[in-house]
Chain A
Amino acid sequence: MDVVMLSRLQFAAATMFHFLFVPLTLGLSVLVAYMETQYVRTGDETYLRMTKFWGKLFLINFALGVVTGITLEFQFGTNWSRYSAYVGDIFGSLLAIEASVAFFLESTFIGIWIFGWNKLSKKAHATVMWLVAGAGNVSAIWILLANGWMQHPVGFTIRDGRAELTDFLAVVTNKFGLLEIAHMIPSAFTLAAFFMMGISAWHLLKKQHVDFFTRSFNIGLVVGLVSSLIVVITGDMHAVHVTQTQPAKLAAMESHWETQPQAPIVMFAVPDEKNERNKIEIGRLPGALSFLGHHDVNAVVTGLKDIPKDERPPVLPTFVSFRTMVALGTLFPLLTIVGWFLRKRLVESRWYLWVMLLAIPLPYLAIEMGWVLAEVGRQPWIVYGLLKTANAASPIAASQVMTTLVGFILVYGLLGIAGFYLIANLAKKGPEPATEDA
């Protein structure tokens, strides 16, 4: 394999591993801050125990998110030096702003939160958690604006063979990035809500800490319901915008070959990229793709055949990731709506608790698929329309990248096992007993 492919694999492995931990922390930090605030306001010890229990799970994920994030920032330089030199003027700034205005705050205050229980007033301690939660989400906003610029570059001019900033405001109000934010952040909250509901369901099935986990479940339920609905709405808006800005991605998402009006969505298909067709097509919904992309069943949708071969993304992964994401994204609001009707008799609804327990991995899968769709669907471009991935890698030896790729797989594999072992252990152990029966 060449340097480009190896570097892509390495970056994909590093990003997807990072993305196993960060979305949970975005949502869970806010939920923990909310619980601690409830404790400060009501003095109810259960909220304190909830803060500490979910806080511990948050911290393990936070630690893994932080350490895997550092490598990403430096990999642009190590593996993608031609990209870095080309876009640093704009992309580098967004990363630097993220570090200086958000990540500093988050990392400094998390230390204070962990070690400051006896050093700060209750109110101040809860405020610290809100700062952590807020900074974490602001951090995500800057990263997504940076990604949004790769997807749909704005506010620049090409000078001396690189992209130079001309309009900072255009970059930070880039509609593509804003839609990614509006879609991704509620997705993270959905993931956190399902994580909380799933673990609560496990304890409720065992009928232990019933009050504690009923309350936790209900918090997850409200947040999950609202956020999963927002995900669907912003996902739809995002698809319309992708149709306008990245027609090749849309066509690959649907394995759509012929430019036509009333373009269909096919429920199942086996894309055949070589012969520019689908081998098998089952469940054709005429006009559905036109509606998805343009909110008009008669609109013309560009097919892959009208996109030059060297500007098409790989169809199969784009197609599969989109389908998986949409199917799961539709399931989440349905599951939470069912939960809404069962919320008064959760402990008796054992089948539902089982479903929610088994559903824990599904938002993870959905969110990873969303990432695959965004990044693979942008290929062959690293910056859409400007710079191809093939021209972006560092001039280094493939053997070097091979070595570090193996290193990443080993180290991340072991960390993943250790991390999820700890998370599962703590989750199963449950909260500390209430002080009165201790």
Chain B
Amino acid sequence: MVLQTVWFFLWGLLWAIFFMTDGFDFGIGTLYPFLGKSERDKNMMIHAMGPLWDGNEVWLITAGGVTFAAFPLFYAVMFSSLYSALMLILFALILRGVSFEFRNKVESPAWKKVWDTCIFVGSFLPALLFGVAFANIFQGVPIDQDGIFQGNLFTLLNPYGLLGGVLFVCLFLLHGALWLTIRADGDLAQRAESLSGKLWPVLTGVAVVFLVASYIFTPLYNNYLANPVLFLVPAIAVAAIVGIKYFLMQKAFFKAWLASSATIVSCIFFGIIGLYPNLFPSSIDAKYSLTAFNASSSPLTLKIMLIVVLLSIPVVLAYQIWAYKLFSGKVTDEELAHEETY
């Protein structure tokens, strides 16, 4: 019981870190056609995430791998149920990844245009669809007693699912714009700053609507009402959102970005805590729901994997924080000109 509960929250944590890190890449990629007016702007935006996106994306691989290892039945049922949505995400991520590497290798406007489009689609689509997927999980998915999904891609595109998608896109847009204020310079940094100011009320509005809609469409609040101390988590989310605005007004952009990170993590945990112990609730009958207890691996595997994760993840965090420190300054013209980079 304890082991499965620990794994449930570790699982949530890995997804939260993925959204916190790769989230700003998705945001910058989505803003790319709108903020990238000149060739220099575009290269600046690519360089802002260039050294980090690859390591960020591994949080997704790890979250996926850990889902497979700790909750195999959930991994099997979730990914086959969400087949079309997940495949769209994967194709999008493939295109995004190669675009960075390919774009500047050929000096042709048409070639660059292709990869520019891929950067946008490859960032926007995953941001939206991950939101849709998680909102649907919060809400419950039509799976029957055999774990077979009774629906299709359009079943997922219901109002609450779409609202989740919009929330994720807003979170990542602001997260990305804030990262740009840190790493870009001159005009681009200023435009990113003023955009952050405009995005903030939008995000706040959407977040409030999502919190209310969660009460109407999902059973997430049951855990909170049973244990009111848990309301601390959404309270942290609110404080973090307010913090973004506060630090933005102070022009403390790195702190604003950290507040945005805290917002993302606490938003994910708001959902994860409400979900517990369900991993994949069935909207047909609660009996068919997959939980941390009926979908988990054997105790031996959970123990071995816990040791592996407790040993490796702190090390990963340490070297990733080092990498972030190395690449958190303004991108210089010298770096943009350096031909070894993208």
Binding site for B on A (CB under 8 A): 52, 55-56, 59-60, 63-64, 66-68, 70-71, 73-74, 76-79, 81-82, 84-85, 87-93, 95-101, 103-105, 107-112, 114-120, 159, 162, 164-166, 168, 394-396, 400, 403-404, 407, 411, 415, 418-419, 422, 425-426, 432
C-alpha spacing A403/B83, complex, angstroms: 11
Q: Ordered nearest first, which 7 A-B pairs have the shortest CB separation?
A: A88-B72, A77-B79, A92-B68, A108-B55, A96-B65, A81-B76, A394-B80
Known: A70-B57, A71-B94, A418-B102. A118 touches B69 (CB 8 A): no
Q: Which chain A residues border B77 with CB–CB below 8 Å?
A: 81, 85
Known: A111-B53, A114-B50. A63 touches B98 (CB 8 A): yes
Q: Chain A: which residue is nearest B334 at the CB level?
A: A118
Known: A66-B97, A99-B61. A111 touches B51 (CB 8 A): yes
Nearest CB of chain B from residue A113's CB, rounded to whole Å: 9
Known: A115-B335, A166-B300. A103 touches B73 (CB 8 A): no
Q: Which chain B residues border A418 with CB–CB below 8 Å?
A: 98, 102
- The answer to whether A100 and B335 have CB atoms under 8 Å apart is no
C-alpha spacing A395/B148, complex, angstroms: 7
Q: Which chain A residues border B78 with CB–CB below 8 Å?
A: 77
Q: Which chain A residues border B53 with CB–CB below 8 Å?
A: 111
Interface status of B198 (Cβ within 8 A of chain A): no
Q: Which chain B residues border A395 with CB–CB below 8 Å?
A: 80, 146-148
Nearest CB of chain A from residue B64's CB, rounded to whole Å: 5
Interface centre among A55, A90, A105, A112 (most CB of B within 10 A): A112
Interface status of B75 (Cβ within 8 A of chain A): yes
Nearest CB of chain A from residue B275's CB, rounded to whole Å: 19
- The answer to whether B86 and A78 have CB atoms under 8 Å apart is yes
- The answer to whether A70 and B60 have CB atoms under 8 Å apart is yes
Nearest CB of chain B from residue A6's CB, rounded to whole Å: 12
Which residues of B, 326-342, contact A by the 8 Å Cβ criterion? 326-327, 334-335, 338-342
For the side of the interface on B, what is the size category? 35 or more
C-alpha spacing A71/B339, complex, angstroms: 30
Can you list 23 pairs linking A and B with CB atoms under 8 Å apart? A68-B94, A70-B57, A70-B61, A71-B90, A77-B68, A77-B79, A81-B80, A84-B75, A89-B72, A100-B308, A101-B308, A101-B312, A103-B61, A104-B55, A108-B320, A116-B326, A119-B326, A164-B297, A395-B146, A400-B83, A407-B91, A415-B94, A432-B339
C-alpha spacing A294/B32, complex, angstroms: 62
- The answer to whether A115 and B50 have CB atoms under 8 Å apart is yes
C-alpha spacing A165/B90, complex, angstroms: 30
Q: Which chain A residues border B238 with CB–CB below 8 Å?
A: none
Q: Which chain B residues border A400 with CB–CB below 8 Å?
A: 83-84
Known: A64-B98, A108-B58. A96 touches B51 (CB 8 A): no
Interface status of B301 (Cβ within 8 A of chain A): yes
- The answer to whether A118 and B298 have CB atoms under 8 Å apart is no
Q: Which chain B residues border A117 with CB–CB below 8 Å?
A: 338, 340
Known: A78-B79, A78-B87, A96-B305. A422 touches B106 (CB 8 A): yes
Nearest CB of chain A from residue B210's CB, rounded to whole Å: 26
